[in-house]
Amino acid sequence: MNNSAIPAVQAADPPTRRRLPRNASLIIGLVLTGIFLLVALASFFYLPSNPNVPDIRHRLLPAGAPGHWLGTDVLGRDIVAQLMVGARTSILVGAGGATLSLLFGTITGLAAAAAGKLTDETISRGADIMLSIPGMVTALVLAATLGSGALTTILALTAFFTPSFTRVIRSAAMGVLQEDFITAARLYGRGRIFVLARHVLPNIAGVMIVQFTLYFAAGILTEAGLSYLGVGVHRPSISWGMMLNEAQQQVGVSSPLAIWPGFAIVLLVLGLNLLGDGLRDVLDPKLSRRRG
């Protein structure tokens, strides 16, 4: 056989493998997110100094001071140590909120897609109602009544994000449920739950991962906002939003202390958003083309 005629056909690799290396968003996103994950992990084993213990003799040191790369705050606490613990909080709260929303959103979304018209109508309208309530205002009330803290913040995030997950997962699952292989599985005698778990879930996993990444980022932004307002996490936990509030209140905006935590938030959120966009290109080409 003469193989020289074939390459034109063989060159068509599976699309996933071919797209991956060219996907700049995915790579930059992975690197940025990876760095912050490593920093957060490292903070459990090593901190330059205790970020909550005041050291009045070394207050407001500039960046580059011996032992304090980025200087110290108004009470002499090391900025690098605070930023490291802040990464931990951001990731914990953001991922916590996104995970719980994914869990509840998957359950309700699948139920809406598969359990009949009445269930669908109830769940979908319920999600619409929850989406029309402004989250920030509700979070203020929630934090004030339940008491602020990481757990309350995660719960607040879950309450805002779940309806979006419900909607996305419902429509993705409905698309899959119309496919022929679902009919085949049904005819084979498979039950509804089996079909959902075995056939629908794997087929919407891509959508779920993308949605998770994007709301992970949104969760970090919201947590920073709530902590900035003083209704998010509190010391001894440390949040970048809280650091920005302290800097603005105690030293004024001209201090470099009002800069570093902001950079950290932007880089991590940017990384996660890029990762989400990149993953969408790989896992869900249809959607990425529609969004341009």
Partner 1 sequence: MTIYVLRKLAFFVGAVFVASVAIFLLIRGAGGNVAAVVLGKSATPEAINALAHVYGLDRPLPVQYADWISNMLRGDFGRSFRTNESVADLVTARLSISIPLSLSGLILGLLIAIPVGTYAARNVGTPSGAVLALVSQVGVAVPVFWAGILLSLLFGVRLGWLPTGGWTPWSQSVTEALRSLVLPVLSLGLIMAATLIRYVRSAVLDVMNQDYLRTALAVGMTRTQALLHVGLRNAALPLVTIIGLQIAELIGGTVIIETVFSLPGLSRMILANVAAREVIVVQSTVMIIIVFVITVNLLVDLLYGVLDPRVRATR
Dist CA 53 CA 75 (whole Å): 8
3-class secondary structure per residue, the chain: CCHHHCHHHHCCCCHHHHHHHHCHHHHHHHHHHHHHHHHHHHHHHCCCCCCCCCCHHHCCCCCCECCECCCECCCCCEHHHHHHHHHHHHHHHHHHHHHHHHHHHHHHHHHHHHCCHHHHHHHHHHHHHHHCCCHHHHHHHHHHHHCCCHHHHHHHHHHHHHHHHHHHHHHHHHHHHCCHHHHHHHHCCCCHHHHHHHHHHHHHHHHHHHHHHHHHHHHHHHHHHHHHHCCCCCCCCCCHHHHHHHHHHHCCCCCHHHCHHHHHHHHHHHHHHHHHHHHHHHHCHHHHHHHC
- Are the beta carbons of 287 and 209 closer than 8 angstroms? no
Q: Does 53 bind partner 1 (CB under 8 A)?
A: no
By CB under 8 A, the count of residues binding partner 1 is 43
Task: Give whichever of 47 and 270 is closer to partner 1, judged by the CB atom.
Answer: 270
What's the token pair of residue 55? 């050291």
Identify which range of 45-53, 109-117, 184-192, 217-225 contacts partner 1 by CB under 8 A: 217-225
Smallest separation (angstroms) from partner 1 to the CB of 289? 10
Restricting to residues 229-248, which ones interact with partner 1 according to CB under 8 A?
229, 231, 241, 244, 248
Task: Give whichever of 106 and 222 is closer to partner 1, judged by the CB atom.
Answer: 222
Smallest separation (angstroms) from partner 1 to the CB of 98? 16
Task: Give whichever of 54 and 175 is closer to partner 1, judged by the CB atom.
Answer: 175
Task: Give whichever of 201 and 287 is closer to partner 1, judged by the CB atom.
Answer: 287
Q: Does 151 bind partner 1 (CB under 8 A)?
A: no
Q: Does 141 bind partner 1 (CB under 8 A)?
A: yes
Question: CB neighbours of 37 closer than 8 A, spacing ≥ 6?
Answer: 91
* Site track for partner 1 across 273-292, x = CB under 8 A: xx---------------xxx
Q: Does 252 bind partner 1 (CB under 8 A)?
A: yes
Q: Does 228 bind partner 1 (CB under 8 A)?
A: yes
Q: Does 217 bind partner 1 (CB under 8 A)?
A: yes
Smallest separation (angstroms) from partner 1 to the CB of 231? 8
Q: Does 145 bind partner 1 (CB under 8 A)?
A: yes
Q: Does 146 bind partner 1 (CB under 8 A)?
A: yes
**Binding-site member from 128, 183, 193, 198 for partner 1 (CB under 8 A):** 128
Q: Does 202 bind partner 1 (CB under 8 A)?
A: no
Smallest separation (angstroms) from partner 1 to the CB of 191? 32
Task: Give whichever of 125 and 192 is closer to partner 1, judged by the CB atom.
Answer: 125
- Are the beta carbons of 72 and 59 closer than 8 angstroms? yes
The residue with tokens 């899959």 is 176
Return residues touching partner 1 (CB under 8 A). 125-126, 128-129, 131-138, 140-142, 144-146, 217, 221, 224-225, 228-229, 231, 241, 244, 248, 252-254, 258, 262, 265-267, 269-270, 273-274, 290-292
